[in-house]
Amino acid sequence: MKQFNEKLAKWINATPSNDAGINNIQVPGQVEHLVWQNRYKEPSAYELDFVQQLIQAFSNGVTELNDLVLSLNQQGFRNDAGELWTVENFSTEMQRLGYE
């Protein structure tokens, strides 16, 4: 099973083609359905760890952003730069990881 959408990786920062739909026409019954339609790459170890830390926080009943940031810091999980979490850098990281 593919872990990311290979076509999406090619489309990021791509210039528009003059040949609309070239190599992208879907034939009914022959469409390859991907589990991860919107990923352009496999998640990094940091991203997978981040998910686990978020799951842990939510499992402990955290529902507010300030409490989530506090929980991540208490769990000892740092951002990709190795810094403590703040509301600001958490929001920035969510935008970055959401591929805007």
Note the pLDDT tens digit of each residue in 87-99.
999 999 998 887 5
Q: Are residues 60 and 93 in the same domain?
A: yes
Q: Does 20 have pLDDT greater than 60? A: no
Q: Are residues 18 and 54 in the same domain?
A: no
Q: Are residues 50 and 89 in the same domain?
A: yes
Return d(Cα 56, Cα 16) in angstroms, integer: 42
pLDDT digits (tens, 9 = 90+) for 35-57: 666 677 788 999 999 999 999 99
Domain that holds residue 88: 45-97
Q: Does 100 have pLDDT greater than 70? A: no
Q: Using CB atoms within 10 A of its CB, is residue 69 exposed (0-12), middle (13-18) or buried (19+)?
A: buried
The pTM score is 0.64
